[in-house]
Amino acid sequence: MSVIERNKPSLTRALGRVNVIGVAVALVISSVVLLVYEAVSLRAALADNAGLEAAMVAENMSAPLLFNDAEVASEVLTHLGSLPYVESVAVFDAKGRRFARYAQPGLSEKEQNEGTEAAAQEHVRLSFKDVIVAVPVVQGGARVGTVVLVATTGGMKSEFTRYACFLFLASACALWIASLVMSRTKARVIEAERRLEYYALTDPLTDLPNRRAFYDELAHCLRPSAGVLPQVTLVLIDLDDFKTVNDTLGHGAGDELLRAVAHTLRGTVRQRDIVSRIGGDEFAVLATSDTDRSQSRGTAEKIVRSLGRSFELEGTMVPVTVSVGFSRFPDDAGDIASLVSSADIALYAAKSGGKNLAFEFRPKMTAEAQRRALLERDLREAIERDRLDIAYQPQFDCRTGQLVGVEALARWNHPVQGDVSPAEFVPIAESSELILSLGQWILNRACRDAVRWNRDASAPVSVSVNVSARQLRHHSFGADVLATLEESGLRPELLELELTESLLMANLTAAVEVMRTLRARGVRLSIDDFGTGYSSLSYLQSFPLNQLKIDRSFVKALPHSGQPIVTAIISMAHSFGLTVVAEGVEYPAQLAWLCDSGCDYIQGYLTGRPMTFAALMDALNEEREHVLASERTEPAGPVS
Ligand code: C2E
Ligand code: CA
Ligand code: CA
């Protein structure tokens, strides 16, 4: 049962029932009030009629009373037989003796004698008892007798009963209509509630449960049943370079990819497993059927296989890779928070490990993650407090043996951890915005240093600065580089930016534009680690490049193997008008082979390790003196 099904709107139902009861109670109260009012009105009308009739009788009774003619009096009274409500009429003389009487036939003796002056004194407003009125008979201002009329309430009762029946029917109808209207409203409210619930728990793009629903599910899944802890595998999936798809193909393609991934994931895992989208390009699978680690591993690897392929997006085939990390409950974690964080740590490890990898959580990863968090915090501080440093590694011209440039390599001496390799801290910085301040710090310092060493150099020595993907993607990157050149006073031709192939491919549109702007101002551009990335040759033509840097891995194999590739790279670069620099040159044989094969520049431990600024200055001074000395004796030759 899903979260949405578990959270059915029951409040509305209860409220609906309360509403109907409320309406019914209101109808009962108003009916009672109306019935009382009706009874009082009917009785008042009967009393009025009886009073009028008695008054008329009294008017006609003065003469019979004066002449003591009871017969005439009885005759007058007999006429009252035509009025159905008149039960009896009695005429009393001034002394209170009954003078004449009329009574409807069939009355008991008690009923016939009901009409007395004393009984007429009793006034009741709400009652179904007979109404008794007494009217004095007056002659010449003197009271000569009294007429007492007893009106039966039989007619009033039937009138009242009719009214009550009508009222009951009307109330029943009203209740029926009210409950009908209410049930319709209730249905609409339930539907609206259901929709709200759906949107609160579902990712509208992929129709998968969202982050909130995922946590609800997780809490539900981890509950022990019959005292036994369940076995749950949490798999986190992150699309590599999703931002690139968005940036290069547009958000429409990005959305299409997310939908396709959601669909593929659903089809990959078991029916019972729960798939959710928990972030922009992050998905999660809760696998409850994997009973041991190897099954969990199987699920994670299956996910990598099913998603690590090309997807057709808006008519273009786009290669997709994913990183997957998983952890198991209760083996790796005892609660939700640590289960999620351990899967996250495994995911991070998979991401740093390369592409299309599934990593399972291992306890030692926690220590690594803690070290990363610590380094990230301290690195931020080190950048802010200017505690980083740069090592400069020389690059020599193969033909002249002259030092023509240096590569700026970030260095960090941590107060507790000692020297931390850039291979460790640069990726940490790259995982956040920190790389922007790190990159800017290096650029600033490198440009200022380059101005200093070029101040009295015999020949210009350029500086190469490494650029990260995030930096290049940042909207102000081009402007920042130009501003740094301006502030430091370094000639743009003496700055070279090292970009990696994958970085260029991932930022195609943005990259070309920034590169053109920088090239137009004279900044040199070089491709770092050439041959290890996409190696798509077409961009050599479309990008405004100056140089290729052959990756260390190719140089390492030289001169015994790998020559065909290196020869091919050199001749291809030259045919595109690019210069070539080989990095990681460690042995004289490599140097000799590269120089013989037409490589333009050399960088490596053999010709010079990365060194401090002061050491570089010394080296430059030494070289200047050497050049001056050799100029005096013989022309410069190749390095050996
Ligand atoms: P990279 O750009 O490929 O830099 C070359 C790396 O190879 C440097 O390592 C350098 O010390 C090393 N190296 C140079 N010659 C030799 C050699 O003959 N043999 C061997 N085995 N290694 C050699 P480092 O300084 O540890 O830098 C590692 C990576 O860190 C760099 O690789 C670069 O990707 C990154 N990095 C360093 N500084 C920066 C920076 O300021 N910004 C950015 N974005 N990345 C940087
Ligand atoms: Ca480099
Ligand atoms: Ca490199």
346-391 residue pLDDT tens? 999 998 888 899 999 999 999 988 999 999 999 999 999 999 999 9
At residue 370, what is the residue type?
Q
Residue with tokens 């994670």: 300
Report the range of poorest mean pLDDT among 59-68, 266-275, 462-471, 528-537.
Answer: 528-537
pLDDT confidence of residue 524: 97
465 Cα nearest atom in ligand 1: 41
pLDDT confidence of residue 2: 61
E strands, 398-553, are: 403-414, 418-420, 462-466, 495-500, 524-530, 547-550
Beta carbon of 604 within 6 Å of any ligand 1 atom = yes
Angle between helices 70-78 and 11-66 (to 10 degrees): 150
Give tens-digit pLDDT for 17-54.
788 888 889 999 999 999 999 999 999 999 999 999 99
Beta carbon of 394 within 6 Å of any ligand 1 atom = no
Beta carbon of 610 within 6 Å of any ligand 1 atom = yes
**Mutation test of ligand 1: which of 395, 409, 497 has the most ligand atoms closer than 8 Å to its C-beta?**
409
- Would the pLDDT of 508 be above 70? no
| 268-307 per-residue burial string, b: 16 or more CB within 10 A, e: under 16 | bbeeebbbbbbeebbbbbbbbebeeeeebbebbeebbeeb
Beta carbon of 608 within 6 Å of any ligand 1 atom = no
DSSP H or E run through 520 = helix 508-520
Beta carbon of 551 within 6 Å of any ligand 1 atom = no
pLDDT confidence of residue 422: 97
Contact 360, 326 (CB under 8 A): yes
Q: pTM (2 decimals)?
A: 0.66
- Would the pLDDT of 5 be above 70? no
Average pLDDT, the chain: 90
Distance 343 CA to ligand 1 centre (A): 31
Token pair belonging to 112: 């016939």
pLDDT confidence of residue 3: 57
- Would the pLDDT of 639 be above 70? no
- Would the pLDDT of 637 be above 50? no
Burial of 43 (0-12, 13-18, 19+ CB in 10 A): buried
Q: Would you place residue 640 in the very low, low, confident or very high pLDDT band (cuts 50, 70, 90)?
A: very low
Nearest CA to ligand 1 atom 8: 409
pLDDT confidence of residue 19: 81
Q: With pLDDT > 70 as the criterion, what percentage of the chain qualifies?
A: 94
Range list of H helices, 205-333: 211-221, 242-249, 251-268, 293-307
Give tens-digit pLDDT for 211-261.
999 999 999 999 988 888 899 999 999 998 888 888 778 889 999 999 999
Distance 278 CA to ligand 2 centre (A): 36
Nearest CA to ligand 1 atom 4: 409
CA distance 277 to 263: 11
pLDDT confidence of residue 283: 97
Verify cis geometry, omega within 30 degrees of 0, for the bond prior to 544: no
pLDDT confidence of residue 577: 93
Distance 602 CA to ligand 1 centre (A): 14
Contact 572, 540 (CB under 8 A): yes
Distance 584 CA to ligand 3 centre (A): 8
Ligand nearest to the CA of 436: 1
The strand order across the sheet containing 131-139 reads 98-103, 86-93, 142-151, 131-139
Q: Which domains does the chain have, with CATH numbers?
A: 1-105+113-201 (3.30.450.20), 208-361 (3.30.70.270), 387-620 (3.20.20.450)
Query: Which of left, alpha, beta for 356 (phi over 0: left; psi -120 to 50: alpha)?
Result: left
pLDDT confidence of residue 529: 85
Beta carbon of 421 within 6 Å of any ligand 1 atom = yes
| Residues around the ion ligand 3 (C-beta < 5 A) | 528-529
pLDDT confidence of residue 70: 86
Nearest CA to ligand 1 atom 16: 584
pLDDT confidence of residue 473: 82
- Would the pLDDT of 13 be above 70? no
- Would the pLDDT of 453 be above 50? yes
Nearest CA to ligand 1 atom 7: 584
Compute the C-alpha angle 136/139/140, nearest 5°: 130
Give tens-digit pLDDT for 319-339.
899 999 999 999 999 999 999
